[in-house]
Structure 1
Amino acid sequence: MCGIIARVGEGNAVDRVITGLDNLEYRGYDSAGIALQNGTGVSVSKCSGEVEELKQNIRGDRLAGNIGIGHTRWSTHGPPTDENAHPHTNGDGTIAVVHNGIIENHAELRERLRSQGVEFESDTDTEVIPHLIDHYYATCDDPKVAFTRAISELEGSYAVVVMFEDYDAVYGARQGSPLVLGVGDDQYFLASDVPAFLEYTDRVVYFEDGDVVVARPHGVTVTTADGEPVNRPIESVDWDPEETGKGAYDHYMLKEIESQPSALSNSIRGRINDSNDGVDVDVFDPSTLADVREVQFIACGTSYHAAMYASTVLNRTGIRARAFRASEYQLSSDPVTTDTLVVAVTQSGETADTLGAMERAADEGAKLLTVTNVVGSSAARAADDTLFIHAGPEIGVAATKTFSSQAVTLSLLAQHLAEHIEDGTPVPNLPAVLDAVQTLPSDIEQIINTTRAAALANHYLNSEAYFFIGRELGHPVAQEAALKFKEITYEHAEGFASGELKHGPLALVTPRTPVFAIFTGLHDEKTLKNAKEAQTRGADIVAVAPAGHPAVSETDAHLPIPDTHPMWAGLLANVQLQLLSYHAADALGRSIDKPRNLAKSVTVE
């Protein structure tokens, strides 16, 4: 959830740590801080608010040091105050710590340390860590021994990076929260995520739970907590550093909406055979799928809506499939057996609820597949196999291009499964379906170039609520559209299966409740009937449909999409509705890339 960056090398670390914080602010922006060490002491500067406020605070301060750690926070324990901002230090300020995750036994540790005379200055669970390290450091005078003894007492999830005033090194460890190493020519980085240091290196080491890393200006060692050497390979990431910047755009979100043509092209490339009558997603030996009888998708938030989309596609092929919210799946009594394929869908590969659901599936003996955007992520390593969506880095908190890339990748996976699972039957006229998916990038380009979403957003700007409805494949798109709208506008928005409108939600419809109806080319007459039930109660109906669709003449406004196969029409509607949300939020002056109370990667349960 929070963002960690550390830099060790020659020259001043300040600018590079601040750059890392800028790049990680999508992980949290309640407060930020930095600590620097130059061999003679540790200097700390931190404050509530965004990284820009930290920059203002340190401007004029002559902070210097070739070793630095930084943190941008999403609050869990304690409100976003100066005192609760990271880094946290021990009593005399000689040890500084940044932490991502939750220390579940922090209350017990805090009471024990208080009984030893320790005074605490914050409400955070993190502050127990530097004091615990200090306790062991006083007895052994060895920073690594003190660090490993301290983390052995922590329960919960964490990525921790520590700096001592009198050692030219940073010490890091992970357990259930991400931590990666960036390997530069004359410097090293430890961070929560690759974008933190992508300007400086594309060479990355992904750590496993239990790894302990010591990074010095001229080398890195990785061991277990017991000191056994560990070899983790250096990998190259294929993300362009420019992808993590806004360029000429005002917001990352708009950039990422408009980058969907290239993101989808990358998701589709190489996954349709030369004869255009089958797919090859290159996961699992087909023989291992022969005994699969059910597919369960587990995901959270936007990824859950993509999973809903995929389960609908898969059910069409005759294979029993269902999407579960990962947070509920861990507690569910639904059967999971060795003939179940569990597909974990997570953009970051670090979503705590999804990782917990994966543990349940693995314990039950299910086959486990991860669909993710991040190579080397925890979910990718925990699964039997992994399918990457290849969407490139997404910085905006509100997911856009990764939803469409997930939905397309999962739908192609569904066709692959239908070819190799005994009960499966490929969808009718598969070549036409595959032709249409390959035109999605150009179709989205057309939407971007011709959209009237900004004008429509302004027209309905002062509405009481916003409803989105759709049937079958239009239903998850309606839910995703509502989620996007509420995430960044802070306005009341709901997504429904269109047939459910009359079973309760219609009571909320007023003349100030526009209803956005998604027409995919299947069951459209029923969707229109449901929409008109709201229209007779005074609501405006906006048809999201191709030009010339029968619904256009019977509704109050129109967001056009190119004509395409019903399998993909909802994804084109989704782009128009993403743009609607963006322009509404922009008109309202909302913080689009950093919406209140939210963070990009939810690494705590």
Structure 2
Amino acid sequence: MCGIVGAVASRNVVSTLIEGLSRLEYRGYDSAGVAVLSGGNIERVRAVGRVAAMTEKALEVNLSGQVGIGHTRWATHGGVTESNAHPHVSKGELAVVHNGIIENHNEQRDKLMQLGYEFTSQTDTEVIAHLIHFYHNQGLALLSATKMAVAELTGAFAISVISVKEPEHMITARQGCPLLIGLGENENFIASDVSAVLSVTRKVIYLEDGDVADIRRDGVTIFGSNGNTVERKIHMSDVSLASMELGPYAHFMQKEIHEQPKALTDTIEALIDDNRFSPVLFGDAASEIFSQVDSILILAAGTSYYAALTAKYWLESIAKIPTNVEIASEYRYRQSVPNPRQLIVTISQSGETLDTMEALKHAKSLGQHYSLSICNVQESAIPRASKLVFYTRAGAEIGVASTKAFTTQLVALFTLAATLAKQRGMLNDAQEQGYLTALRQLGGSVQHALNLEPQIREWAKAFADKHHALFLGRGIHYPIALEGALKLKEISYIHAEAYPAGELKHGPLALVDSDMPVVVIAPNDTLLEKVKSNMQEVKARGGELFVFADDDSHFAESECVHVIRTPRHVGVLSPILHTIPVQLLAYHVALIKGTDVDKPRNLAKSVTVE
């Protein structure tokens, strides 16, 4: 959600800024802009729409400068207009880019208007520009002015600011939103995502909450929340530029769906190499912490929430440990009963999801200090705030609709369930080896599921002119039905809902007619006969059924019952396998409808605002 890039160099940085913004397009945005210091002035170009539209305008005016900032905006305060696009400029002397939300912007706006500042946008960001300018204009250096200003801001933000009065550097600050520094040779960079700086450096520093940094060509100085200089660890990013290229695929979502066999295999590599479920997979302190916990609370949002719902079945059936799952944005705003022996598990692809981060902080404030993060991004905020961490190895995920990040989260959560079961004496050696064998075979089973794409492509034609769809599942496959419905509405804009199949007769059956396709997740498990009965309820009302069944489920096709058989039932890991067909269905329906598959409207990849 939104993207920031900045550069200080001895060369023209405009092309670097534009390339960085292009790399950030996957995060979701609706306008883009760049501002540079040039000849004692701030030169700015902004445009509604894609980075390409802004780039064209920058080329027309031959934009050039050695210090600059750029931004892709996802509208929150104010509509999608050029005047609301970043960077925002104050008095022609200072420019700011900003991710996040300033909660006290109305109060600050009123104060600044009384001081004579005129506002040309509806954004909360313009408040930051004018506030920093006010202090800068009082004679404070840009660094001090920025520190004074951010101390008055309430909310979450990552900002970068440049000034014509101090053209040799930029100042950047972080509170609640991701921001990093890229280190080069006689040039340095800032960005909200490492992908934006990979073309110029792999050496990065991740800023922490409360940090303010002075970025110059020849060095970087970071000040912690106490105002003193601090040293932050330098990391060598292992994200490859190749992973961010489409290659032979039409869309990143298609590419990432097909990368799942490798992503799953990479994620379980350490586990398989060790040939056992060991607490050390989750951190050096895991064995001690796991021995202390008596229950689990999983906090997550969006697709990660559905992974958590699936994990509840595994944790309670395999490890026999009581597990609750909560939507992160709801948990922190209700009265809950804290349990200091409860393990708080947070799930986030980016590791920067603000709702989940704040939920973790809330849990810790209640005295719940046993925490585990499951995340796909090294050294992101949520893992750094957790005692234990399991990094999935999905690789860069560019498509807004999560695919391989979701299935690798499921593998991580299954590993957690098996590890806890073993430590609690609930898993014998034969069961452990059975689970390890199933994990080893998972990549191949997923590849077989991907081979169903031609059949699913044909099914998609039946959905393209529909306005609604229903997804049904039972037991551990109900969360997969939820995920399937989410994927369809995310990228095809078809309204879709998911229900436990047994709930049909309690209301949703009223919706069923020949115009509402009903997708059924029907593995060959203990609930199969129950699912078949639920399907008869749909068929009797004239509904058309699209059934994803295991090869050995013995379903008969008919005029209104269409069946695609996935590979044979893979037991406890079946939810992972059945995720693949619903991803492919959503993708091909969206293709037929002509929507923007990788950048669906109104959505963002990394949600760093409430």
In 1, the alpha carbon distance for the partners of 2:294 and 2:335 equals 18
Over residues 449-470 of structure 1, what are the superposed CA-to-partner deviations in whole Å (9 max), with x where a residue is unaligned?
3422111101332224211111
Contact 1:279 1:415 in 2 (8 A): no
In 2, the alpha carbon distance for the partners of 1:564 and 1:468 equals 20
Out of 445, 453, 456, the position equivalent to 1:453 is 456
The one-letter code matched in structure 2 to 1:381 is: R
Instruction: State the shift of 1:142 in Å.
Output: 1.4
Contact 1:473 1:520 in 2 (8 A): no
Out of 556, 565, 570, the position equivalent to 1:565 is 570
In 1, the alpha carbon distance for the partners of 2:351 and 2:461 equals 36
When residues 243 and 59 of structure 1 are mapped into structure 2, their CA distance, relative to the original with a 3 A threshold, is: same
Q: Which residue of 1 aligns with 2:322?
A: 320
What TM-score results when the alignment is normalised by the length of structure 2?
A: 0.95
Larger CA deviation: 573-582 vs 432-441? 432-441
Q: Which residue of 1 aligns with 2:500?
A: 497
Matches within 5 A, 1:291-310: 291-310=292-311
Over residues 34-88 of structure 1, what are the superposed CA-to-partner deviations in whole Å (9 max), with x where a residue is unaligned?
0011352210011222212212222321100111110001111111111100000
Q: Which residue of 1 aligns with 2:41?
A: 41
Over residues 6-29 of structure 1, what are the superposed CA-to-partner deviations in whole Å (9 max), with x where a residue is unaligned?
012131111111111111122232
When residues 557 and 229 of structure 1 are mapped into structure 2, their CA distance, relative to the original with a 3 A threshold, is: same
The one-letter code matched in structure 2 to 1:205 is: I
Matches within 5 A, 1:389-468: 389-421=392-424, 424-425=426-427, 429-451=431-453, 452-468=455-471
Larger CA deviation: 45-54 vs 595-604? 45-54
In 2, the alpha carbon distance for the partners of 1:504 and 1:428 equals 44
Q: What's the secondary structure of 1:410's corresponding residue?
A: helix
In 2, the alpha carbon distance for the partners of 1:287 and 1:64 equals 57
Instruction: State the shift of 1:427 in Å.
Output: 11
In 2, the alpha carbon distance for the partners of 1:278 and 1:519 equals 33
When residues 209 and 39 of structure 1 are mapped into structure 2, their CA distance, relative to the original with a 3 A threshold, is: farther
When residues 275 and 158 of structure 1 are mapped into structure 2, their CA distance, relative to the original with a 3 A threshold, is: closer
Instruction: State the shift of 1:356 in Å.
Output: 1.4
Q: What's the secondary structure of 2:437's corresponding residue?
A: helix
Matches within 5 A, 1:130-145: 130-145=129-144
Does the alignment pair 1:346 with 2:348?
yes
Q: Which residue of 2 aligns with 1:286?
A: 287
Out of 542, 545, 549, the position equivalent to 1:545 is 549
Q: What's the secondary structure of 1:83's corresponding residue?
A: helix
Q: What's the secondary structure of 2:229's corresponding residue?
A: coil
Larger CA deviation: 551-560 vs 407-416? 551-560
Q: What's the secondary structure of 1:551's corresponding residue?
A: coil
Matches within 5 A, 1:514-593: 514-522=517-525, 523-553=527-557, 556-593=561-598
Q: What's the secondary structure of 1:232's corresponding residue?
A: coil
In 2, the alpha carbon distance for the partners of 1:227 and 1:399 equals 39
The one-letter code matched in structure 2 to 1:449 is: N
In 1, the alpha carbon distance for the partners of 2:208 and 2:137 equals 29
Contact 2:403 2:583 in 1 (8 A): yes
Contact 2:282 2:389 in 1 (8 A): no
Does the alignment pair 1:355 with 2:360?
no
In 2, the alpha carbon distance for the partners of 1:143 and 1:332 equals 41
Contiguous gaps of at least 5 residues in structure 2? none
Contact 2:277 2:419 in 1 (8 A): no
Does the alignment pair 1:159 with 2:158?
yes
In 2, the alpha carbon distance for the partners of 1:432 and 1:141 equals 66
Larger CA deviation: 549-558 vs 516-525? 549-558
In 2, the alpha carbon distance for the partners of 1:332 and 1:553 equals 48
The one-letter code matched in structure 1 to 2:54 is: L
Contact 2:275 2:436 in 1 (8 A): no
Q: What's the secondary structure of 2:475's corresponding residue?
A: coil
When residues 488 and 428 of structure 1 are mapped into structure 2, their CA distance, relative to the original with a 3 A threshold, is: farther
When residues 275 and 41 of structure 1 are mapped into structure 2, their CA distance, relative to the original with a 3 A threshold, is: closer
The one-letter code matched in structure 2 to 1:79 is: G
Contact 1:8 1:188 in 2 (8 A): yes
When residues 101 and 276 of structure 1 are mapped into structure 2, their CA distance, relative to the original with a 3 A threshold, is: closer
What RMSD, in angstroms, separates the aligned Cα atoms of the two structures? 1.8
Matches within 5 A, 1:197-346: 197-224=197-224, 227-272=227-272, 274-275=274-275, 281-283=281-283, 284-317=285-318, 318-346=320-348
Does the alignment pair 1:55 with 2:58?
no
Contiguous gaps of at least 5 residues in structure 1? none
Q: Which residue of 2 aligns with 1:27?
A: 27
In 2, the alpha carbon distance for the partners of 1:155 and 1:274 equals 47
Over residues 571-598 of structure 1, what are the superposed CA-to-partner deviations in whole Å (9 max), with x where a residue is unaligned?
2221111011001001101011111111
The one-letter code matched in structure 2 to 1:535 is: K
Does the alignment pair 1:382 with 2:385?
yes
Contact 2:211 2:223 in 1 (8 A): yes
Contact 1:498 1:530 in 2 (8 A): yes
The one-letter code matched in structure 1 to 2:310 is: Y
Q: Which residue of 2 aligns with 1:2?
A: 2
Q: Which residue of 1 aligns with 2:605?
A: 600
Identity rate of aligned residues, in percent? 39
How many residue pairs get matched? Answer: 603
Instruction: State the shift of 1:231 in Å.
Output: 0.1
Q: What's the secondary structure of 1:538's corresponding residue?
A: coil
When residues 12 and 310 of structure 1 are mapped into structure 2, their CA distance, relative to the original with a 3 A threshold, is: same
Larger CA deviation: 538-547 vs 120-129? 538-547
